[in-house]
Structure formats: C-alpha cells, structure tokens
C-alpha cells in the first residue's frame, strides 16, 4: 500500500480510538472473570444465547453485519468486508494499526478489522469503568449491561461502514475526528433501531446505549482527537435510532464543512 495522507489520517484516528479506552481501563484496574457469560440476551433471546464474552461480541458483530450487508445490498453496494478479533485477557494482538492489548476497543482501517478486548467488554458490562470514562467520571451517563457493549461494537462497525463508503477519502481532509465519531454513533443507533424493530432489544436496552454514549463523551474540545461531548454523542446515537436509516447520519460530515 502506498503511504498517503489518507492512510496516516486513518491510523491516527485508530490510535485515538484506542487511546480513549487505554486511559479508561488502566484507571479502572481489573474487571474480574467474565460477567457477560450466561447473562446476555440482546443478540439472541433464545436458549442458545451466547455464554462467553467472545461469543457475545461475535453475535453482536454478526447481527450488525447482517444489518449493513442488507442495507448495502438494497443500495446496490458490495457486501462490507470486515473482520473481528477479540483479545483475550492478558493477551495482545498485532494489527495493521500496531499492537493492541486488553485495553483496546478499536476499528483498524488498515486491515478492516474490529478489535475488542474481552476484559474491556466485561468491564463495560459490569459498570467497572464509570469512574474512568471521561463522561461518566463527570456525572454523565454510565456504562452497564449488554446494550452498552453492543453500542461500542456497533460504533466500531460504523467506522467500517465509513471506510466502505469512501467517506474518509471524501471528507478526511475536511472534517475533524469528531465528525466521523458522531456519525459512527449515529450508525450504531440506526443498527439498534433495526434490532428493536425485530424485537431483539430488551426493556432498558435503549437507555443503556444512551447512557453509554454519554459516558464515553469527552470534554477535550481543543484536542484533534476530541470525539464529541456526552450530549453530542447521546444525540448522535438517538438521531440514528429515531430515524432508523443511515441517511439520517450524513449531516455529521456535511455540517462539519464538506
Ligand atoms: Zn470511533
């Protein structure tokens, strides 16, 4: 691959995604065990609901992938090509964006792969990061429950959608990181709406996702890596959820200067 400004931009973006969660998990310390196991219903309310964190992450990813594959097909586009890798506790994996460890939740555009640490997912599920995440540590929202984890997976998949649609090519030089981040939140909301329409969300799942979006919002508005304030991130997810269609998410890039 030829080095290009775009590639550098994408790698910086991926690094920013990782950094946010590095800070969070280091501060929170260890989240013991696998609290997700055996308690998940969002992806599949039937008897064969996932029993492990990695199975849950896979089930959510496949659910999100089904939605976007269908949506792309309806628009005459090729199926999104995305991989995923769940990082076991204590492990690290090599990616095109560098080494990723158990603090990671990231989409790497260099290898079209979503990486999520199982320990990180467990900690999100258990609410163990609320004092470490930028929003929740300031009293905005909180992360707890399966829908909070699903929000993060669907957000990372949203970056894959942006990559597939060529949005980084078209807007990467023109808009700040925040525009892509809020659009990924919006895309996560669009997927959640599809799951809700098909009866696969539990009571409280929408609230969990909105609270998680608040929790990961940050106040570092002067930073190039600013992802959006808690209110902006909650609003973006809500916009996608209410509209239920990806066109509702175009505004984030256009409003940012395109
Ligand atoms: Zn992101």
pLDDT in tens, 65-84: 999 999 999 999 999 999 99
- From the CA of 201, how far away is ligand 1's center (Å)? 23
Q: Could you tell me the pTM of the whole model?
A: 0.83
- Please tell me the predicted confidence (pLDDT) of residue 255: 60
Quick one: pLDDT at residue 256?
A: 52
Q: Indicate the pLDDT class of residue 35, thresholds 50, 70 and 90.
A: very low
Q: How close is the Cα of 18 to the center of ligand 1, in Å?
A: 9
Residue 46 Cα, ligand 1 centroid: separation in angstroms?
Answer: 31
Q: How does pLDDT run across 90-142, given as a tens digit for each residue?
A: 999 999 999 999 889 999 999 999 999 999 999 999 999 999 999 999 999 99
- What's residue 50's pLDDT? 85
Q: List Cβ neighbours of 142 (8 Å cut-off, separation of 6 or more).
A: 127, 130, 136, 211, 212, 214, 215
Residue 179 CA, ligand 1 centroid: distance in Å: 10
Q: How far is the CA of 90 from the centre of ligand 1 (A)?
A: 23
Q: Examine the pLDDT at 37 and tell me if it is beyond 60.
A: no
- Does the pLDDT at position 26 exceed 70? no
Q: For residue 245, how far is its CA from the centre of ligand 1 (angstroms)?
A: 19
| Least confident piece of the model among 36-45, 52-61, 97-106, 243-252 | 36-45
For residue 130, give both structure tokens: 């609320």
CA of 118 to the centre of ligand 1 (A): 18
Is residue 27 over pLDDT 90?
no
The pLDDT of residue 46 is: 52
pLDDT at 237 over 70: yes
Q: Cα of 48 to ligand 1 centre, how many Å?
A: 30
41 CA to centre of ligand 1 in angstroms = 25
What is the CA(236)–ligand 1 centre distance, in A?
Answer: 12
C-alpha 181 – ligand 1 centre gap (Å): 5
- For residue 247, count CB atoms less than 10 angstroms from its CB and return exposed for 0-12, middle for 13-18, buried for 19 or more: exposed
Query: Who wins on pLDDT, 95 or 255?
Result: 95
């Amino acid at each position: 691959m030829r080095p290009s400004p775009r590639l550098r931009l994408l790698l910086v973006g991926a690094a920013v995604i990782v950094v946010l969660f590095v800070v969070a998990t280091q501060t929170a310390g260890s989240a013991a065990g696998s609290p997700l196991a055996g308690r998940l219903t969002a992806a599949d309310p039937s008897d064969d609901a996932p029993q492990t964190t990695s199975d849950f992450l896979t089930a959510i990813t496949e659910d999100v992938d089904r939605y976007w594959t269908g949506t792309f097909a309806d628009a005459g586009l090729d199926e999104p090509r995305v991989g995923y890798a769940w990082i076991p506790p204590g492990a690290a994996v090599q990616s095109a964006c560098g080494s990723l460890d158990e603090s990671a939740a990231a989409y790497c555009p260099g290898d079209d792969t979503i990486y999520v640490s199982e320990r990180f997912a467990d900690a999100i599920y258990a609410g163990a990061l609320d004092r470490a995440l930028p929003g929740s540590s300031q009293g905005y929202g909180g992360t707890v429950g399966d829908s909070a984890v699903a929000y993060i997976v669907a957000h990372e998949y949203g970056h894959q959608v942006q990559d597939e649609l060529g949005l980084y090519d078209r807007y990467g030089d023109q808009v700040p990181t925040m525009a892509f981040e809020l659009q990924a939140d919006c895309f996560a909301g669009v997927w959640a709406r599809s799951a809700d329409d098909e009866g696969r969300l539990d009571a409280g799942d929408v609230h969990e996702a909105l609270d998680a979006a608040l929790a990961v919002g940050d106040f570092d508005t002067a930073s190039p890596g600013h992802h959006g304030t808690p209110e902006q991130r909650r609003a973006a997810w809500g916009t996608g959820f209410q509209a239920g269609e990806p066109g509702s998410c175009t505004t984030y890039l256009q409003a940012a200067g395109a």
